Amino acid sequence: MDSAMTTNTLKLPEKATKKRDWIETVFHLLFLGCAMVGVLSVATIAWFVFHEGLPAFQQAGISEIIFGREWLPPALFGIAPMIVASLISTLGAVIIGVPIAILTAVFLAELAPKWLANLVRPAVELLAGIPSVVYGFFGLVIIVPMIEVLFHIPAGNTILAGIIVLAIMILPTVITISETSLRALPSTYKEAALALGASHIYSIFRVLIPAARSGIYTGISLGVARAIGETMAIIMVMGNAPAMPGSLLEPARTLTANIAMEMSYATGIHASALYSTGIVLLVFIVLLNASLLYLNHKRSH
Amino acid sequence: MKKVIGLVAALGLMASPLTQANTAITVSGSTSVTNVMEVLGETYQQLTNQTVEVQGTGSSAGIRAAKDGTSMIGMSSRDVKDSEVTADTKEIVIARDGIAVTINNKNAVSNLSKEQIAKIYRGELKNWNEVGGENRPIVVVTRDAASGTRGAFEDIMKLKREVNGMKVSAITSSAQVGNGNGMVKTIVANNPYAIGYISLGSVDDSLKAVSVDGAAPSSKTIASGDYSIARPFVLLIKEDVDPAANKFIDYILSEDGQKIVEAQGYIRVN
């Protein structure tokens, strides 16, 4: 009985199956090819950056570059101040930007009346489309003078200015992804919480946000990637001094700014040192994504 | 990128004999001089049908190219050291470019000595009251380490020091760094306590250029040598160079050529 059925089902559409198999294979390869574009790009970029940057590491030494505090090409290539500046500006942007973004997402998904949500959402989406040079210019003419007045310092081109601009820049990414993941939650979660007597706000903070955690983390990680990789706006507002910053009210240069500012003219070991700055940046982003993957993986178990 | 440029240049060289009967005048060197040289080359080409190929490779590379004979004409935007050239290389100054030391319009200071400016950039003078201004800290703005303007400024102001046997910049590392003339301008124009240096051609009403040792920067004071923060645009040729190159240089030094130099915002020499 069993065998008869299998032979029957196999025999009947044999020709059609073969033809379909061929089409299946073509599409399978097409999908695979598309998926490989991203992987190949990353691999090529990594190979290229390492290939160009390794001579600097060989000549100056890994510790001289990573822990060196003076950037004086062609003699000294210390990028420690820039590593610190990149980390602090990104961290600051996350501390200011993420709470604002999550609360906005909750507001849009749960609390806002429809007409207001329809006003806020396009505004947030528009924020994502503004080129970074415009953010930089906005920072240079609005935020920088504001910091000068508020803190009575001679120059407002500081890490703080960079943090504020970056915090605004990561808003749309975090808001959009957090809102989507909040909306994707089954309505039973909220209904159950309300039925148990929890208030609306209580259920948002204790039920909905924890349930949408994984999506919110993804939003934050994309936001962090945008903040650490941002270049143009940062060059315009952070002052770019390659010295170790002593406080948030001092100018500093990020890793990306260092590459962008000097690449056009640099030659020889100087250019190689800029690529090694890129290696450090690449390693940071890999570490960031790896730790996020690990965190999500651990939580899901 | 370099390979692509090289390939395009090679293809260009291969194709040019097919279209042009005469050999092209090859010019390479300083990126600052390239701007004005391209305009001169194009105008000359229209006038005489003589091809001029201009490549911006940097002053040092340009000097080397003229010495080796890989280019007929080398361009430099700084003084050429004797050790860099052989005895049969001629240097011809075709224009001068001033570097203006600029401050905010609200700043009362109008004159600084060369020594004071150097000290400000070394980080030794930190307050405007040390140079006759109000009691406010000086915000020093410089260009990125790879900028040609910064290189010339450091050479003229002797802002160099030695680390590990290599010459590096002596400009204080806490100085703000502007990415281009335009950004230095924006910072200085918006900050009452800032000081920055830019190409004289870029100075406008949004900021003011200080006098240096009593001389205001202008075509006249630069030509007379009173304003000292200026750099020459130098062309280098071998004595036995193709006569076509000599003719081109004669054109640059002629009234028409010098008018183009002036129109591009540089200071004429004739």
Predicted complex ipTM = 0.72
Cis check for the bond before A73: say yes or no (omega within 30 of 0): no
Q: How many CB pairs under 8 A join A and B?
A: 84
Res A265 pLDDT > 90 = no
Q: Do domains B3-97+231-268 and B98-224 have the same CATH topology?
A: yes
Q: What is the mean pLDDT of residues A134-148?
A: 92
List beta partners, residue B89: B238
Q: What is the mean pLDDT of residues A68-88?
A: 90
Going by the DSSP 8-state scheme, the letter that residue A13 receives in this structure is T
Higher-confidence position of B34 and B128: B128
Res A290 pLDDT > 80 = yes
Quote the pLDDT of residue A4: 47
A76–chain B Cβ distance below 8 A for any pair = yes
Indicate the fold that domain A67-300 takes in CATH: MetI-like fold (1.10.3720)
Residues of A in contact with B139 (CB under 8 A): 154-155
Percent of chain A at pLDDT > 70 equals 93
pLDDT per residue over A167-197, tens digit each?
999 999 999 999 999 999 999 999 999 999 9
Residues of B in contact with A250 (CB under 8 A): 174
- Three-state DSSP class for residue B57: coil
A243/B177 touch (CB, cutoff 8 Å), yes or no:
no
Within 8 A by CB and 6+ apart from B23, the residues are B51, B242, B244
Res B11 pLDDT > 80 = no
Which residue on chain B is closest to A274 by alpha carbon?
A: B146
Contact B83, B37 (CB under 8 A): no
Residues of B in contact with A136 (CB under 8 A): none
Quote the pLDDT of residue A16: 61
Amino acid at A142: I
To the nearest whole Å, the CA of A75 is away from the closest chain B CA by 6
CA distance A160 to A148: 11
Higher-confidence position of A123 and B144: A123
To the nearest whole Å, the CA of B49 is away from the closest chain A CA by 33
Residues of A in contact with B186 (CB under 8 A): 140
A241/B174 touch (CB, cutoff 8 Å), yes or no:
yes
User: Nearest to residue B153, comparing CAs of B186, B114, B206, B107?
Assistant: B114
B146/A144 touch (CB, cutoff 8 Å), yes or no:
no
Give the range with max mean pLDDT: A17-31, A182-196, A253-267, B82-96. Answer: A182-196
Q: What is the mean pLDDT of residues A278-290?
A: 90
Res B218 pLDDT > 90 = no
C-alpha pair distances (Å), A289 with each of A31, A286, B137: 24, 5, 43
Rg (CA), chain B: 20
Residues 188-247 of A with CB under 8 A from B: 235-236, 239-243
Percent of chain B at pLDDT > 90 equals 30
B135–chain A Cβ distance below 8 A for any pair = no
Q: Testing the interface with B: which of A52, A72, A146, A148 to mutate, by most B Cβ within 10 A? A: A72
Q: What is the mean pLDDT of residues A58-87?
A: 89
- Three-state DSSP class for residue B95: strand
- Residue A131 CA neighbour count, 13 Å, CB half: 4
Res B146 pLDDT > 80 = no
Which residue on chain B is closest to A231 by alpha carbon?
A: B179
Question: Would you place residue A123 in the very low, low, confident or very high pLDDT band (cuts 50, 70, 90)?
Answer: very high
Note the Cα B253 to chain centre separation in Å. 18
Residue spans of the domains in chain B: they are 3-97+231-268, 98-224
Q: What is the mean pLDDT of residues B228-244?
A: 88
Res B22 pLDDT > 70 = no
Q: What is the mean pLDDT of residues B22-35?
A: 83
Res A2 pLDDT > 50 = no
Higher-confidence position of A264 and B95: B95
- Report the relative pairing of strands B111-112 and B207-209 from DSSP bridges: unpaired
User: Nearest to residue B101, comparing CAs of B147, B37, B150, B135?
Assistant: B150
Contact B176, B139 (CB under 8 A): yes
Within 8 A by CB and 6+ apart from A130, the residues are none
CATH superfamily of B98-224: Periplasmic binding protein-like II (3.40.190.10)
B146/A261 touch (CB, cutoff 8 Å), yes or no:
yes
Res B6 pLDDT > 70 = no
Q: CA A99, A101, A103: angle at the middle one, nearest 5? A: 70
Question: Would you place residue A234 in the very low, low, confident or very high pLDDT band (cuts 50, 70, 90)?
Answer: very high
Contact A292, A73 (CB under 8 A): no
Tell which phi-psi region holds residue B169, choosing left (phi > 0), alpha (psi between -120 and 50) or beta: beta
Q: Is A262 exposed, middle or buried (0-12, 13-18, 19+ CB in 10 A)?
A: buried
CATH superfamily of B3-97+231-268: Periplasmic binding protein-like II (3.40.190.10)
Residues of A in contact with B159 (CB under 8 A): none
Task: Copy the structure tokens of residue B118.
Answer: 């150097």
Which residue on chain A is closest to B183 by alpha carbon?
A: A236
B182–chain A Cβ distance below 8 A for any pair = no
Task: Copy the structure tokens of residue B179.
Answer: 């990415």
B179/A155 touch (CB, cutoff 8 Å), yes or no:
no
pLDDT per residue over A244-254, tens digit each?
999 999 999 99
B1–chain A Cβ distance below 8 A for any pair = no
Task: Copy the structure tokens of residue A263.
Answer: 């690449």
Give chain A's end-to-end CA distance (angstroms, integer).
Answer: 43
Average pLDDT over chain B, rounded to an integer = 85
Q: Which helix (H) or strand (E) holds B198?
A: strand B194-199
pTM of the model: 0.76
Quote the pLDDT of residue B173: 87
Using CA atoms in the order B150, B151, B153, B156, what is the torsion angle rounded to 10 degrees?
Answer: 170
CA distance A95 to A169: 13
Question: Would you place residue A136 in the very low, low, confident or very high pLDDT band (cuts 50, 70, 90)?
Answer: very high
- Residue B188 CA neighbour count, 13 Å, CB half: 33
CA distance B261 to B96: 9
A267/B58 touch (CB, cutoff 8 Å), yes or no:
yes
Res B40 pLDDT > 50 = yes
For chain A, count helices (H), then strands (E). Answer: 15, 2
CA distance A152 to A146: 10
B168–chain A Cβ distance below 8 A for any pair = yes
Average pLDDT over chain A, rounded to an integer = 89
Quote the pLDDT of residue B9: 60
Task: Copy the structure tokens of residue A181.
Answer: 């993941």
Q: Is B2 exposed, middle or buried (0-12, 13-18, 19+ CB in 10 A)?
A: exposed
